[in-house]
C-alpha cells in the first residue's frame, strides 16, 4: 500500500533532491503538467505513466490543483509529485527521472517583485533571484475595529475606511516607485499578507494590473510586514511543494 508524506523544500534542498533522483536512476517515467491544463488532458497524460507504473489514485487531483503546474517523477526507487515555485511551461512525458526542466528553473535568476501588505504595514522589494535589488518598508495609521454599536460605530467605520484608503494609496505609490524602474526585467510578482487587504490594494492600484499575467500564488501565512519578513519571504517564493509516496511497511503480526 502506498502512503504519502508532504515536504516544502527550499531552493537549495530541492536542487539536492533532484541530484538524488538523477543518481538513483532505474526504471521511471517523468511527466510535466502546465498550470490551467484541463483535467481531462491531465488524466490523459497520467494514463501514459500508468502504462509503465502503478500510480497513487489522487495524482490527477493533486496535479490539477497546483497553481504552478506539476512534475510527476514516478519510478521504482522514488515516487514524487513536485509543484515548483514557478509555472511549468511545457507538457511532456519522458523516460527516466528527467529533472532538467526543474533544475533549469531553480537555477534561473528571475526578476521578482514582492508586495507584502496588511492594514497598517507594508514591505515592497525587487529581487534578482534571491538577491535584493531595492526595497521599502513602512507603516500607516489604520485603527482596529471596535464593537460599539449605533451611529458612533458607523462614524468610526467610515473614518477607518478613509484611513485604509489613504494607506493603500501610499502603498500603491511606493510599489510604483520601487518596481517601475525594474519592470522590463520583472518575470514574476508576488503578493503576501492578508488576502482581503491584497484584494483591496489590487482594486485600488492600477499600476499593478499590468503584471496580472505574471503574478504567482500569494503568500498568505506571513506576519506583519517588515524588512525581516520580506527577506524571509523571498526564500519561501523559491520553495517547492513535494509529495512523496512510498510503500508502507506491513504491520507486525501479534505473537
Domain boundaries, the chain: 2-107, 111-237
Query: What CATH number matches the domain at 111-237, 3.40.50.150, 3.30.420.60, 1.10.3720.10, 3.50.50.60?
Result: 3.30.420.60
Identify the residue with better confidence: 47 or 199: 199
Query: Is the model's pTM score more than 0.95?
Result: no
- Which pLDDT score, from 0 to 100, does residue 177 have? 96
Mean pLDDT of 72-76: 89
Q: How many H helices and E strands in the chain? A: 7, 10
User: Could you read off the pLDDT of 215-236 as tens digits, one per residue?
Assistant: 999 998 889 999 999 999 999 9
User: Could you read off the pLDDT of 164-198 as tens digits, one per residue?
Assistant: 888 899 999 999 999 999 999 999 999 999 999 99
Does 34 have pLDDT greater than 50?
yes
- Which pLDDT score, from 0 to 100, does residue 202 have? 95
| Mean pLDDT taken over the chain | 86
Does 141 have pLDDT greater than 50?
no
CATH of segment(s) 2-107: 3.30.960.10
CA separation, residue 209 to residues 187, 204, 237 (Å): 14, 10, 20
Cα separation, 220 vs 187, whole angstroms: 21
- Which neighbouring-strand residues pair with 240? 9
Amino acid at each position: 500500500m502506498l502512503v504519502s508524506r508532504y515536504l516544502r523544500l527550499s531552493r537549495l534542498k530541492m536542487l539536492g533532491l533532484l541530484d538524488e533522483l538523477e543518481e538513483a536512476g532505474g526504471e521511471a517515467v517523468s511527466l510535466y503538467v502546465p498550470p490551467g491544463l484541463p483535467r481531462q488532458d491531465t488524466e490523459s497524460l497520467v494514463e501514459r505513466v500508468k502504462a509503465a507504473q502503478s500510480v497513487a489514485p489522487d495524482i490527477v487531483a493533486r496535479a490539477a490543483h497546483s497553481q504552478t503546474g506539476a512534475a510527476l517523477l514516478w519510478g521504482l526507487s522514488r515516487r514524487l509529485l513536485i509543484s515548483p515555485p514557478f509555472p511549468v511551461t511545457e507538457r511532456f512525458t519522458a523516460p527516466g527521472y528527467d529533472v532538467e526542466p526543474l533544475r533549469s528553473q531553480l537555477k534561473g535568476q528571475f526578476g521578482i517583485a514582492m508586495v507584502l501588505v496588511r492594514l497598517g504595514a507594508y514591505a515592497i522589494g525587487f529581487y534578482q533571484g534571491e538577491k535584493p535589488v531595492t526595497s521599502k518598508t513602512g507603516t500607516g495609521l489604520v485603527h482596529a475595529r471596535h464593537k460599539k454599536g449605533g451611529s458612533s460605530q458607523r462614524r468610526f467605520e467610515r473614518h477607518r475606511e478613509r484611513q485604509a484608503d489613504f494607506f493603500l494609496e501610499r502603498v500603491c505609490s511606493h510599489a510604483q516607485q520601487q518596481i517601475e524602474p525594474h519592470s522590463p526585467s520583472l518575470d514574476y510578482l508576488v503578493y503576501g499578507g492578508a488576502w482581503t487587504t491584497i484584494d483591496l490594494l489590487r482594486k485600488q492600484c492600477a499600476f499593478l494590473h499590468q503584471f496580472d499575467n505574471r503574478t504567482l500564488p500569494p503568500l498568505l501565512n506571513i506576519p506583519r510586514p517588515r524588512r525581516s519578513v520580506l527577506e524571509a519571504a523571498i526564500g519561501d517564493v523559491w520553495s517547492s511543494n513535494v509529495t512523496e509516496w512510498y510503500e508502507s511497511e506491513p504491520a507486525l503480526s501479534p505473537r
